[in-house]
Amino acid sequence: MLNNHRLRKRLKSSKYGISFRDRSSDFYQNGNGRNIQLKRKITKLKDYSNSYQVEVELKNISKTTKFINSVVIADFTLPKTLGSFVDVLYNEWTQSGSCKILKEIKKTERSDYIMMRDQNPFSFLEEYGYLKGSLISEWFSRVSFEKIHLMVGALTTSDQYTVIYLKNDGGLIKVCVVCQFDEVELPVGEKLKTEKVVFMWDKKSCLENQFAKLVSKRMKLKNVVREISGICCAYYAQGNKVNEEYVMNTLYKIDEKKNAGHLVNTDTILIDAGYCEFGDWLNYKNQFPKGMKYIASEIRSRGFKAGIWIAPIIATINSQLYQTHKNWFFQGFEGRKTQPFDFIDSLSLMILDPTLAEVKNYLGQVYRQYYDWGFRVFKIDFVYPLGFTTDFSKNVTRAQALTGLLDVIKSSVGKDAVFLSAISQLSPLVGYIDFVRTGIDTTSPLSYGFPVFRGVVNNYVLKKNIESFKGRNFLNGKVWNADIDCLVLNQNTGLDKNLIIEQQILMNQSNSRWVGDYIQNLNEEMIGYGLI
């Protein structure tokens, strides 16, 4: 059986080490290399008795700058005394990636054609510490045996992506935990630290909740619990097409319901994608001729908060931003990462380098302007491409590039601003985002016109959304407010009614409630779902 003494002994004797750019000659274990000095600290936590926190500090003691790929925190095999394997909590790194219970530990297959964005590409590289043939779980994982449950995960998340490799090796479970430094420079004499990683165990299956509480404490999170109930205009109703008329008609419908004595539960109206060319966030006049200040005023005059969707680092090839400032973008890097045809101009996304001073200034101006116009709810989307490049102008990891971007955004608006996330890696969002999407989209509007196809696609998508929401729901209310995305009642979706009801039940149990339909088209039965 696992206990304090045995786990500490196993951790203390476990392998640890560093991976450089020149991995063939520079990888070693146990801190006795001649180029990098490693110090591993194993601490018993007072917060939770059956746990140890592990952190590694590295110092360049060579005569030249080193480029650090990753640091192995611990590499060891679990004892047979834990009993037979039962299941494992598996977690991919983005909200659109899976989080679910698996009944076996098997090799994670890399996706090179469809939805590449759901996987961390560096986690499959041997020079980054990849354990061949392993199950790859990002940020956290929980392994259950007949006699005990073991949880492993990063308590801090701002600086590196933490990966847990699990491998069934002849009936014994091998565990390897890695923090990815993404080839950052470590000058002579300087130091770096890994994230703080916890190993915790219990006979009862309560570890996920305990882990979430530890993350909250280590990241010094305060006032996490917030509530929001909104209408999203207008992606799920008609794709990336939204304009002044659509938003005003939504407001008129709400006025009509109020005047008829109906209770309106909505507190936020959010303008979704489609009001401008991606990248040209202040060029909205074609869709909103009276201006964003006007529409925000109309929303606020009815007692609602005004929200806006912005995907800060992306731009289309045709955008004025890209055509005018190509030097702000990563060269030769297409950022969509969804399917093999992303390179086609009409599909391609150009990606800004958020570490450039000029880009920080531009994005600061965009968010500051919307805040000054009266917007208080900001949905941040499509930031995941930062996980696929290391060509930043500054010496930062991919996680730091994302948290640095969020620092710029949050410092550009007032403290009363509320932040939502959509397609993003999850772990760097801790401490930055109030309402975090923890599953994939509810539906794909492109499918609505195909009667048979739409049902197959949208029911698969919503099932995956619900599954991942459930898998990550232990973080809700402790680390952030989990968002299961919009309820979509449009009959053109082909959605199974039972799935819609399940989503609604889960939504009502959370603090984030959204409807994605054009409410002018909702009948009384649909409105009876109670979200508007």
Half-sphere exposure of 397 (CA within 13 A, CB side): 23
Residue 29 has what pLDDT? 47
Cβ neighbours around 26 below 10 Å, total: 20
End-to-end CA gap in the chain: 53
Q: Report how far residue 53's alpha carbon sits from residue 196's, in angstroms, rounded to the nearest whole number.
A: 6
* Percent of the chain that is helix, strand, coil (3-state, to 5): 30, 30, 40
User: What is residue 21's predicted lDDT score, i.e. its pLDDT?
Assistant: 57
* Residues 69, 19 contacting (CB under 8 angstroms): yes
Structure tokens at 394: 């500054």
Low-confidence ranges of the chain (pLDDT < 50): 23-24, 28-29, 528-529, 531-532
The two three-digit tokens of residue 174, written as one number: 């091998």
Boundaries of every domain in the chain: 4-204
Q: Which string of b and e fits 192-205 if b means at least 16 CB within 10 Å?
A: bbbbbbbbbbbeee
- What pLDDT was estimated at residue 505? 93
User: Could you report the per-residue pLDDT of 168-198, keeping only the tens digit for each?
Assistant: 998 899 999 999 999 999 999 999 999 999 9
Backbone torsions φ then ψ of 55, nearest 5 degrees:
-145, 140
Say if residues 467 and 488 touch (Cβ distance below 8 Å).
no
Give the list of residues 6+ apart from residue 268 with CB closer than 8 angstroms, or none: 228, 229, 230, 231, 304, 305, 306, 307, 377
Which two tokens mark 501?
Answer: 């009801």
- 371: closest CA among 416, 433, 406? 416
Say if residues 182 and 12 touch (Cβ distance below 8 Å). no
Structure confidence at residue 309 (pLDDT): 98
pLDDT at 38: 92
| Angle of the 292-300 helix axis to the 244-259 helix axis, nearest 10 | 10
Q: How far apart are CA 17 and CA 19, in angstroms?
A: 7
